[in-house]
C-alpha cells in the first residue's frame, strides 16, 4: 500500500508546485460581463488607462455579433461616438476591402491589453493616455492592409512619408487629429469613398506595428503626444505601464471570502467605475468644446459625465478613492460653466449636452464639499443658482425659462397634462420625453436642497431660505389617497385615469410612480410624515416589491423600456431605484435591507454576457454594486453618511488615499448568513444601521456578526435611523 501512496503523494506535490500563481484582484476583471444587453445597451469591453482619453473597443452590435466593423482609435464620448476607424485586412484585391468586416475568434479583452484572431491576421493592442500601439501578425505573404475609415465621414487622411499618415476627423462640431507611424514601409496608399484609405505593406512585412497619437488641439500636438507617450515600438512596455495603472486602481479595494462569481462581478464593476470622466489635458493645454477654444491648464481638465446617472454612487465612490481627481473633475465643471454660461448636467467631450433632467451638479458639489473636497464654491454656486432659476426644467432642454418654469416657482410643482391633453409649451418634446412632471419636481426639490446647503456655506441666508422652500415642492404632489407622488394639472387637480404601474414619460423619468415615491433623498423624514409615519411607509415599501407587473412584459416594455430588472414594481436596472432597498434602514427594519440587497444582486446580476439587468451607463450601475457588495451605500449624496446593507465578502478593505484603511469584517460569513446580528465600529457597539463619512475616512474596522435569521431589533430604534431631513445642514 505504501508503494502506491508514496508515488501518488509525489504526483500531488508536483501538481501543487505547478499551479499557476494565485489570482490577483485585476485577474478577476472580465470586461465581457454585460456585453449583451437584456433589453437596452450592452457594456463595452474598453481597453484604456483609467480615466484617460483613449478608449479602445471594437465596433459591433454586441458580443454575440461575430464580426467587427472597425477598431476606432478612440471612443470620444461614452456611447456617443468614436473616431478614426481602423481595421487590419488581408487580401490581394483592394476593391473588395472597402466594406469588409472582420470575423474574430479567440478574443481576449483585458483592461490593459486586447488581442484577437482575425481573418488572415492576429492583432494585439495596448493604450497610453493619449496614444495607442497595435501589432498585427499577418498569416499571408501578400495583400497586407490597414484600412482607415472616418466614423463621422467628415475629415481626411494624408500620407506624410513612407512610414507615417495623418488624419483629421470632425464630429458634432469638434475636430480631432491623429498621427500614425508604422514600423514597415508603406507600399501603397489608396484613397476611397468618404475619406477612407487603404495603407498597403509589402510581402516582407510579416508583422506590422502601428503607434499613434491623438489630439483635440492640432496635428502638431498629436505628434507631440505620440513622442511623449510611445516614442518607440514597444508593445510590452506600454502594456506593462497600463497594467500597473490598473493594478494600482483596482488594488484600492481588497475583498476576500466571497464566491468566484461574486469576485468577478465586484472587480469588474470596480473596473467599469474607471471609464470616465476622462482627462483631455495635453501637456499644459486642453481644447474645450464648451467655448471652442484652447486653454492653458492649471489642473487636469476632465470631460464625459452623465450626472443624472453618476451622482448617486459613482461620484461618491470616487470622492473616497480618488479625491484629487474628483476635485479636478468638479473644477472642470466649474470651468465649463464659465466657458459656456450654463452649469452642465452632462459635460461631454463635445461640450454642453441637454441630457436628462435635474440639476445634479448641485448634489455632486454639495456632497463633495461635505466630504472635504475644496474648489471655487462661489463660482460653483453662481452657476448652480442660474441653472435652477434661469434655465428651463423641461427634460432634455437647456433653453431659457418658459411659462412652465414660472408656474413651477409660483405653484410649487411642475404641471402635468391629462391623458390626451394637447401640449401647450413648444419646447417640450411631445414624441418621447414629454414633461415628466413628477420626476422634474422631485429632481429639482433635491437639487435645490443641495443648492441651499451651498448657499448656507457661503453665508447667503436669504438664498438658503429660498432654496429650502423650493426643496419642499415635492410635498405638493403627495396624493394621500393613492399614497404616491402623483401628477397634478395646471389647475392643481389630481390627474385621473392613469395606472401607476404603466405611466409613460408624461409624469415620470424612465420608470413608474412606485419608483419615484422614494425619489426624495434629502427629506425621507418629511416623506414618511406625509405617508402617516414609518409603519405606513414601510408597508408601502413592502407592497412595491410585491405588486405584480399586471401585463405581458413585451407590452410593459413598450411603455417603460428602461424599467428593467423588475421585482414587483421595483426596477434595479435603472438609477432612480439604486438607493431604495436601503430605506428600510430609515424605517426601522434594517433586516429587510439585508434581505433585499442579497435577493436583488443574486437574482439580477451575474458574471456572463447577460450579467447586468439594465444600462450600466459608464459606471453608474457598477458603483452601486461596488458599494453594495462591500455592505454599505451613500443613500443621500449631500449628507455624508452611509447606510449599512449586507456584505457579500468576509472582508472588504478600502485603502483610502489619506493612508487609512476602512475594513468591513463579516464574522460567521457565509452565503446563507446574510442577516446582521450585532455590529461594532472599532470595537465599540454600533446600534445604528449607518456610519458617517468622517468615521469611514478615519479608518478602522466595522465588524458585523452575521447569522441566517434576522435580528429585527438591531438598528430599529427611530433615533438610530440615518439622517435625511430638511433640518440637516452642512457645516463650514
Provide the pLDDT for residue 38.
86
To the question of pTM greater than 0.85 for the whole model, the response is: yes
The pLDDT value given to residue 6: 37
What pLDDT, on a 0 to 100 scale, did the predictor assign at position 10?
39
Which phi and psi (to 5°) does residue 474 adopt? -55, -30
Q: Average pLDDT, stretch 601-619?
A: 96
Per residue in 32-59, pLDDT (tens digit) is 999 999 899 999 999 999 999 999 999 9
pLDDT tens readout for residues 392-416:
999 999 999 999 999 999 999 999 9
The Cα 588–Cα 3 span in angstroms is 65
Q: Is the confidence at residue 677, as pLDDT, over 90?
A: yes
Give dist(CA 402, CA 425) in Å, integer: 8
End-to-end CA distance of the chain: 78
Phi, psi of 431 (to 5 degrees): -85, -35
Q: How far apart are CA 570 and CA 563, in angstroms?
A: 8
**pLDDT number for residue 14:** 36
3-state secondary structure 183-219: CCCEEEEEECHHHCEEEEECCCCCEEEEEEEEECCCH
Q: Return the pLDDT at 8.
A: 37
pLDDT at residue 19 is higher than 70: no
For residues 352-368, give the mean pLDDT: 97
Per cent of the chain over pLDDT 70 is 97
pLDDT digits (tens, 9 = 90+) for 130-143: 999 999 999 988 89
- At 140 the pLDDT is 86
What band does 21 get if pLDDT is binned at 50, 70 and 90? low
Residue 266 CA: distances (Å) to CA of 29, 179, 316: 8, 37, 17
Contact present, 649 and 262 (Cβ < 8 Å): yes
In angstroms, the CA 242 to CA 121 distance is 24
Q: Is the pLDDT of residue 4 over 90?
A: no
The answer to whether 629 and 645 have CB atoms below 8 angstroms apart is: no
List C-alpha distances in Å: 258 to 114, 632, 643, 648: 28, 16, 21, 6
> Which pLDDT value is given to residue 503?
87
List domains and CATH numbers for the chain. Answer: 25-250 (2.70.98.10), 255-720 (1.20.1610.10)
**pLDDT tens figures, 70-100:** 999 999 999 989 999 999 999 999 999 999 9
pLDDT digits (tens, 9 = 90+) for 286-304: 999 999 999 999 999 999 9
Q: Which residues are within 8 A (CB) of 89 and not within 5 positions of it... i.e. 6 or more apart?
A: 97, 100, 102, 120, 121, 145, 146, 147
In Å, what is the CA distance from 308 to each residue of 274, 329, 390, 509, 605?
17, 16, 19, 11, 22
> What span, in angstroms and rounded, lies between the C-alpha atoms of 377 and 460?
12
What is the average pLDDT value for the chain, to the nearest integer? 95
Amino acid at each position: 500500500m505504501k508503494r502506491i501512496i508514496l508515488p501518488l503523494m509525489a504526483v500531488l506535490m508536483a501538481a501543487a508546485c505547478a499551479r499557476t500563481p494565485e489570482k490577483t484582484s485585476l485577474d478577476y476583471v472580465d470586461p465581457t460581463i454585460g456585453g449583451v444587453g437584456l433589453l437596452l445597451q450592452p457594456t463595452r469591453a474598453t481597453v484604456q488607462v483609467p480615466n484617460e482619453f483613449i478608449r479602445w473597443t471594437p465596433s459591433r452590435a454586441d458580443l454575440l455579433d461575430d464580426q467587427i466593423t472597425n477598431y476606432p482609435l478612440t471612443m470620444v464620448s461614452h456611447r456617443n461616438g468614436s473616431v478614426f476607424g481602423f481595421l487590419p485586412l488581408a487580401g490581394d484585391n483592394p476593391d473588395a476591402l472597402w466594406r469588409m468586416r472582420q470575423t474574430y475568434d479567440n478574443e481576449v479583452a483585458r483592461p490593459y491589453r486586447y488581442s484577437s484572431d482575425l481573418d488572415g491576421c492576429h492583432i494585439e493592442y495596448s493604450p497610453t493616455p493619449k496614444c495607442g500601439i497595435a501589432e498585427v501578425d499577418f498569416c499571408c505573404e501578400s495583400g497586407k492592409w490597414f484600412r482607415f475609415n472616418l466614423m463621422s465621414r467628415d475629415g481626411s487622411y494624408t500620407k506624410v512619408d513612407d512610414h507615417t499618415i495623418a488624419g483629421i476627423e470632425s464630429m458634432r462640431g469638434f475636430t480631432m487629429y491623429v498621427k500614425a507611424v508604422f514600423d514597415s514601409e508603406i507600399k501603397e496608399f489608396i484613397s476611397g469613398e468618404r475619406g477612407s484609405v487603404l495603407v498597403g505593406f509589402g510581402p516582407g512585412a510579416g508583422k506590422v506595428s502601428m503607434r499613434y497619437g491623438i489630439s483635440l488641439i492640432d496635428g502638431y500636438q498629436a505628434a507631440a503626444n505620440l513622442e511623449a507617450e510611445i516614442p518607440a515600438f514597444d508593445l510590452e512596455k506600454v502594456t506593462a505601464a497600463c497594467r500597473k495603472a490598473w493594478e494600482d486602481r483596482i488594488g484600492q479595494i481588497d475583498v476576500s471570502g466571497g464566491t468566484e462569481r461574486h469576485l468577478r462581478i465586484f472587480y469588474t464593476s470596480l473596473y467599469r467605475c474607471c471609464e470616465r470622466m476622462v482627462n483631455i489635458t495635453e501637456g499644459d493645454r486642453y481644447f474645450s468644446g464648451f467655448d471652442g477654444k484652447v486653454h492653458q491648464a492649471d489642473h487636469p481638465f476632465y470631460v464625459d459625465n452623465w450626472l443624472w446617472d453618476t451622482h448617486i454612487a459613482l461620484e461618491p465612490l470616487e470622492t473616497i478613492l480618488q479625491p484629487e481627481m474628483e476635485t479636478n473633475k468638479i473644477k472642470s465643471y466649474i470651468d465649463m460653466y464659465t466657458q459656456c454660461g450654463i452649469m452642465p448636467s452632462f459635460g461631454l467631450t463635445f461640450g454642453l449636452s441637454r441630457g436628462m433632467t435635474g440639476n445634479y451638479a448641485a448634489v455632486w458639489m454639495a456632497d463633495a464639499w461635505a466630504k472635504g473636497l475644496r474648489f471655487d464654491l462661489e463660482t460653483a454656486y453662481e452657476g448652480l443658482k442660474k441653472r435652477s432659476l434661469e434655465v428651463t426644467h423641461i427634460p432634455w432642454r437647456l433653453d431659457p425659462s418658459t411659462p412652465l418654469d414660472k408656474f413651477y416657482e409660483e405653484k410649487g410643482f411642475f404641471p402635468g397634462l391629462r391623458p390626451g391633453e394637447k401640449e401647450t409649451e413648444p419646447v417640450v418634446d411631445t414624441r418621447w420625453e414629454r414633461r415628466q412632471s413628477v420626476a422634474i419636481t422631485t429632481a429639482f426639490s433635491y437639487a435645490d436642497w443641495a443648492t441651499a446647503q451651498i448657499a448656507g456655506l457661503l453665508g447667503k441666508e436669504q438664498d438658503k431660505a429660498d432654496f429650502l422652500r423650493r426643496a419642499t415642492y415635492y410635498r405638493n404632489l403627495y396624493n394621500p389617497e393613492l399614497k404616491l407622488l402623483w401628477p397634478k394639472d395646471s389647475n392643481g387637480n389630481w390627474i385621473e385615469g392613469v395606472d401607476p404601474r404603466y405611466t409613460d414619460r408624461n409624469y415620470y423619468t424612465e420608470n413608474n410612480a412606485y419608483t419615484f415615491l422614494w425619489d426624495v433623498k434629502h427629506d425621507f423624514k418629511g416623506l414618511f410624515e406625509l405617508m402617516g409615519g414609518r409603519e405606513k411607509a414601510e408597508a408601502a415599501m413592502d407592497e412595491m416589491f410585491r405588486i405584480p407587473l399586471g401585463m405581458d412584459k413585451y407590452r410593459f416594455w413598450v411603455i417603460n423600456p428602461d424599467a428593467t430588472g423588475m421585482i414587483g414594481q421595483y426596477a434595479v436596472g435603472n438609477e432612480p431605484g439604486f438607493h431604495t432597498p436601503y430605506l428600510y434602514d430609515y424605517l426601522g427594519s434594517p433586516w429587510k435591507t439585508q434581505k433585499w440587497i442579497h435577493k436583488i444582486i443574486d437574482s439580477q446580476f451575474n458574471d456572463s454576457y447577460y450579467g447586468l439587468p439594465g444600462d450600466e451607463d459608464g459606471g453608474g450601475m457598477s458603483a452601486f454594486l461596488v458599494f453594495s457588495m462591500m455592505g454599505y451605500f451613500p443613500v443621500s449624496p449631500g449628507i455624508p453618511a452611509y447606510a449599512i446593507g449586507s456584505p457579500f465578502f468576509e472582508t472588504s478593505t478600502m485603502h483610502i488615499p489619506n493612508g487609512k484603511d476602512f475594513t468591513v469584517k463579516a464574522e460567521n460569513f457565509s452565503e446563507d448568513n446574510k442577516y446582521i446580528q450585532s455590529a461594532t465600529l472599532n470595537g465599540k457597539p454600533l446600534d445604528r444601521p449607518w456610519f458617517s463619512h468622517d468615521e469611514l475616512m478615519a479608518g478602522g474596522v466595522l465588524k458585523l456578526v452575521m447569522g441566517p435569521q434576522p435580528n429585527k431589533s438591531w438598528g430599529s430604534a427611530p433615533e438610530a435611523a440615518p439622517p435625511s431631513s430638511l433640518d440637516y445642514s452642512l457645516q463650514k
